[in-house]
């Protein structure tokens, strides 16, 4: 039995002159949640489309449960669930009818499809709206229904393309809970997101891609450790003290930015950073407050791709 | 669940695959019919437009159009039947185009369903809609004085040709629907084409009154073949050749556009 539920090896895909995937390679261990992170146009959607058999790659190989996504596409479709970037549900059907339809088309027999539809509507908090037409649903309800539709045939592997983009916070948290529950039950999940917070909250492993290549991989903690810098915010009694302090810190080699009575100082993470920082402030009255901002995946992401590359990627989209 | 156990579900023989395709087609058609019933404005549009044509041509223009030897309303209605299914076929493109825009077609491509069912289910639902629309137009025709001079059986045969043509025309518009992800654009592209075919055919006026170059085009296209065959049946004239010609057009259109549509659909993953 494979250790990996998904294996992606040197995948290539171009749309005319635009390279979407460039020798993309990564693996997803069975039963884990992988967060695929990247700016717009970095190749996230293309990757998920290839893995869910909606798009053929130009070159390279990808397997899901050991099945080739091109040669064995029909069998791959039986083991995957897919929820795309937009709620792909029929507005003129009820929630229940949508789930039953997708279940039937996923080769679930009619009776079981109805049972699964009822279970999922309940699980996603849509029981009350089950028999209303989806065109009257809110955006959040549609997305939840869309995710539910991907689960009718209990797929062991689930692909989610930006599942919470455009959702209000409450809907977002509900969707996170649903993904966590699936992961607990052993489903392998690959989700793409632009929200580093989301990858931090859900993913066991993060793959950051830029220009269709893997830029970095690791657990969220490893990435923060490796790339994040701690930001200290020192509050002083007055603006004059803050100015003096920032000059001294600059002389000691720190990057310090003064803002009224506060200054912000970047420092590599690691123990001992704060005492060293305070020692450099010998000649100045002690700060009245000290704030510590731990690195987030946002910092990692910016460090790796940079604002310039994000802009460029946006243009290529 | 082991990969092997799951993978076993994908292995199916040709007979099972055909049965699956039929079941999937019925499920997709059922979905499209529900959609249709719940957007009655589309259905109303599909019947109101030909109704207006009946009233306009029967009462406003009809007096000025002379068709030797027959009552104008009997001449008109076969044209109206053809017109109603020809315009209805645009609905096939509009519906598919909406599915393309909503992302539903991408979802369908990731399901273990039969690919042809996406298209066959759509056209099957549109066939059912055509039957309804033609039945309504038949009622309207009777109300304004239409009688089939040759009797009921030839009339039903003529309506059968209309339904067959409507089914082929739906397939004809699949390619458009799969290429245009904007329903309004699909509508915009379809309407002029259908107008051209319907109005250059002898749907409302005898083509003998048209200039030669227009007649040459107008009499060599599928809507004209249909209307000619309908009239031959309804007026009890020798109809074998015309009926075969219309069936050949419909069969040919169906074959060419079903293959083209399936090819476009299965290559949308490129």
Q: Are the C-beta atoms of B235 and B74 separated by less than 8 Å? A: yes
Q: Which of A74, A79, A89 sits opposite B6 (nearest CB)?
A: A79
pLDDT for A266 beyond 70: yes
- Closest chain A C-alpha to B42 CA, distance in angstroms: 13
**In chain A, what residues touch B270 (CB-CB under 8 Å)?**
55-56
Q: Do B9 and A107 touch (CB under 8 A)?
A: yes
For residue A305, pLDDT beyond 80: no
Give the residue ranges of DSSP H helices in A106-260. 110-123, 139-149, 169-184, 196-202, 220-227, 239-251
Distance CA A167, CA A160 (A): 14
Q: What is the mean pLDDT of residues B222-245?
A: 95
Question: In a 3-state reduction of DSSP, which class is residue B2?
Answer: coil
What is chain A's Cα-based Rg?
24
ipTM of the complex: 0.87
- What is the band of A273 on the pLDDT scale with cuts at 50, 70, 90? confident
Average pLDDT over chain A, rounded to an integer: 87
Query: Which of A108-112, A149-153, A274-278, B1-5 has the lowest average pLDDT?
Result: B1-5
pLDDT of residue A5: 95
pLDDT at A269 over 70: no
Q: How far apart are the first and last CA of chain A?
A: 39
Asked if B3 and A2 come within 8 Å (Cβ–Cβ), the reply is yes
Q: What is the pLDDT of residue A228?
A: 63
Out of A17-21, A164-168, B247-251, pick the least confident: A164-168
C-alpha–C-alpha distance, residues B16 and A107, integer Å: 12
User: Distance between CA A185 and CA A294 in Å, rounded?
Assistant: 32
Q: How far apart are CA A97 and CA A152, in angstroms?
A: 12
The larger pLDDT score, comparing residue A315 to residue A203, is at A203
d(CA B187, CA A181): 44
Residue A144 scores a pLDDT above 50:
yes
Predicted confidence (pLDDT) at residue B41 exceeds the cutoff of 50: yes
pLDDT value at position B4? 37
Split at pLDDT 50, 70, 90, the class of A93 is very high
The region that residue A53 occupies, defined by phi over 0 for left and psi between -120 and 50 for alpha, beta otherwise, is: left
pLDDT band at A270 (very low <50, low <70, confident <90, very high): low
pLDDT at A313: 37
pLDDT value at residue A316: 34
The per-residue pLDDT for B228 is 95
Domains of chain A: 4-220 (3.40.50.300), 229-293 (3.30.70)
- Portion of chain B with pLDDT greater than 90, in percent: 68
The answer to whether A69 and A76 have CB atoms below 8 angstroms apart is yes
Task: Give the angle A221-A226-A228 at the CA atoms, nearest 5°.
Answer: 80
- Report the pLDDT value the prediction gives residue A1, as an integer from 0 to 100: 45
| Mean pLDDT for the stretch of residues B122-133 | 95
pLDDT, position A100:
97
For residue range B84-124, list pLDDT tens digits in order: 999 999 999 999 999 999 889 999 999 999 999 999 999 99
CA distance B136 to B40: 15
Cβ-Cβ contacts under 8 Å between A and B: the total is: 101
Burial tier of B14 (Cβ tally within 10 Å: 0-12, 13-18, 19+) = exposed
Average pLDDT over residues B258-266: 95
Indicate the DSSP class of residue B220. Answer: S
Residue B55 has pLDDT above 80, yes or no: yes
Task: Specify the pTM.
Answer: 0.82
Inter-CA distances, A138 with A129, A143, B102, Å: 11, 9, 15
In percent, the amount of chain A with pLDDT more than 90 equals: 53
Q: By 3-state DSSP, what share of chain A in percent is helix, strand and coil, each rounded to 5?
A: 40, 30, 30
Residue B8's CB is within 10 A of a number of other CB atoms, namely 11
Out of A230-234, A296-300, B83-87, B265-269, pick the least confident.
A296-300
In this structure, what token pair is assigned to residue B39? 């957007």
* A253 conformational bin, left if phi > 0, alpha if psi -120 to 50, beta if neither: left
- Asked if residue A310 has pLDDT above 50, the reply is no
**DSSP calls for B117-186:** HHHHHHHHHHHHHHHHHHHHHHHHHHHTT---TT-HHHHHHHHHHHHHHHHHHHHHTHHHHHH---HHHH
pLDDT, position B125 = 96
Widest pairwise Cα distance in chain B: 77
Residue A308's pLDDT is 47
Average pLDDT of span A24-31: 95
Among A239-253, B141-155, B249-263, the least confident range: A239-253
pLDDT above 50: residue A314: no
Contact flag A84-B107 (C-beta cutoff 8 Å) = yes
Nearest CA in chain A to B4: A65
% of chain B with per-residue pLDDT over 70: 96
**Mutation target vs A (from B26, B112, B117; most A CBs, 10 A cutoff):** B112
Q: Which residue has the tokens 């004209």?
A: B224
Closest residue in B to A142 (Cα) is: B102
In chain B, positions 2-61, which contact chain A (CB-CB < 8 Å)? 2-3, 6-7, 9-11, 20, 23-24, 27-28, 31, 34-35, 38-39
Of A64-73, A192-201, A205-214, B91-100, give the lowest mean pLDDT range.
Answer: A192-201
Query: CA B191, B197, B200, B206 torsion: positive or negative?
Result: negative
Length of chain B: 270
- The distance from CA B58 to its chain's CA centroid, rounded to whole angstroms, is 24
Select the more confidently predicted residue: B17 or B125. B125
Residue A278's pLDDT band, with cuts at 50, 70 and 90, is: confident
Least confident of B15-19, B22-26, B244-248: B15-19
Query: What value does the mean pLDDT take over residues B183-207?
Result: 90
Closest CA in chain B for residue A186: B1
Give the residue among B133, B215, B121, B129 at the shortest CA–CA distance from B171.
B121
pLDDT tops 70 at residue A317: no
Residue-level pLDDT at A233: 86
Which of A10, A23, A42, A26 lies closest to A206 in space, CA to CA?
Answer: A26
Residue A140 has pLDDT above 80, yes or no: yes
């Amino acid at each position: 039995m494979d250790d990996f539920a998904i294996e992606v090896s040197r995948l290539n895909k171009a749309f005319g002159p635009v390279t979407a995937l460039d020798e993309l390679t990564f693996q997803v261990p069975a039963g884990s949640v992988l967060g695929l992170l990247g700016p717009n146009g970095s190749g996230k959607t293309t990757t998920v489309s290839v893995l869910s058999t909606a798009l053929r790659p130009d070159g390279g190989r990808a397997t899901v449960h050991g099945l080739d996504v091109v040669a064995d596409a029909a069998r791959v479709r039986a083991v995957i669930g897919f929820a795309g970037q937009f709620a792909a549900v029929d507005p003129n059907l009820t929630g229940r009818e949508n789930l039953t339809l997708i279940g039937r088309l996923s080769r679930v027999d009619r009776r079981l499809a109805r049972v699964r539809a009822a279970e999922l509507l309940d699980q996603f908090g849509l029981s009350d709206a089950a028999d209303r037409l989806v065109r009257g649903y809110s955006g959040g309800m549609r997305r939840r229904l869309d995710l539910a539709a991907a689960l009718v045939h209990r797929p062991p592997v689930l692909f989610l393309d930006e599942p919470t983009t455009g959702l209000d916070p409450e809907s977002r948290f509900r969707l996170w809970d649903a993904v966590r529950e699936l992961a607990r039950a052993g489903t392998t999940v690959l989700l793409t997101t632009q929200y580093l917070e989301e990858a931090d909250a859900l993913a066991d492993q993060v793959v950051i891609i830029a220009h269709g290549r893997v830029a970095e991989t690791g657990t969220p903690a490893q990435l923060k450790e490796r790339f994040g810098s701690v930001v200290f915010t020192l509050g002083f009694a007055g603006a004059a003290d803050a100015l003096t302090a920032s000059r001294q810190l600059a002389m000691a080699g720190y990057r310090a930015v003064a803002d009224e009575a506060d200054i912000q100082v970047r420092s590599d993470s690691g123990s001992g950073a704060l005492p060293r920082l305070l020692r450099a402030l010998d000649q100045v009255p002690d700060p009245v407050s000290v704030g510590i901002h731990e690195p987030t995946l946002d910092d990692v992401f910016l460090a790796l791709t940079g604002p310039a590359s994000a802009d460029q990627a946006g243009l290529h989209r | 669940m082991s990969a092997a156990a799951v993978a076993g579900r994908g292995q199916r023989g040709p007979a099972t695959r055909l049965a699956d395709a039929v079941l999937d087609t019925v499920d997709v058609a059922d979905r499209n019919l529900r959609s249709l019933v719940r957007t009655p404005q589309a259905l109303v549009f599909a019947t109101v437009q030909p109704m207006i044509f009946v009233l306009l041509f029967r009462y406003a223009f009809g007096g000025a159009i002379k068709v030797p030897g027959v009552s104008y309303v009997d001449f008109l209605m076969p044209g109206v039947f053809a017109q109603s299914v020809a315009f209805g076929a645009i609905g096939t493109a509009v519906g598919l185009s909406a599915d393309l825009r909503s992302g539903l077609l991408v979802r369908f491509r990731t399901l273990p369903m039969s690919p042809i069912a996406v298209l066959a289910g759509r056209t099957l639902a549109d066939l059912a809609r055509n039957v309804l629309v033609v039945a309504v137009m038949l009622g309207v025709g009777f109300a304004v004085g239409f009688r089939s001079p040759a009797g009921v059986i030839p009339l039903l045969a003529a309506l059968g040709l209309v339904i067959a043509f409507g089914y082929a025309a739906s397939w004809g518009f699949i390619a458009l629907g799969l290429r245009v992800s904007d329903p309004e654009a699909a509508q915009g592209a379809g309407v002029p084409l259908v107008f051209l075919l319907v109005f250059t055919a002898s749907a409302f006026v005898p083509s003998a009154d048209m200039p030669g170059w227009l007649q040459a085009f107008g009499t060599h296209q599928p809507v004209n073949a249909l209307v000619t065959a309908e009239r031959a049946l309804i007026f009890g004239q020798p109809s074998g050749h015309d009926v075969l010609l219309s069936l050949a057009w419909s069969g040919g259109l169906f074959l060419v556009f079903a293959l083209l549509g399936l090819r476009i659909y299965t290559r949308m993953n490129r």
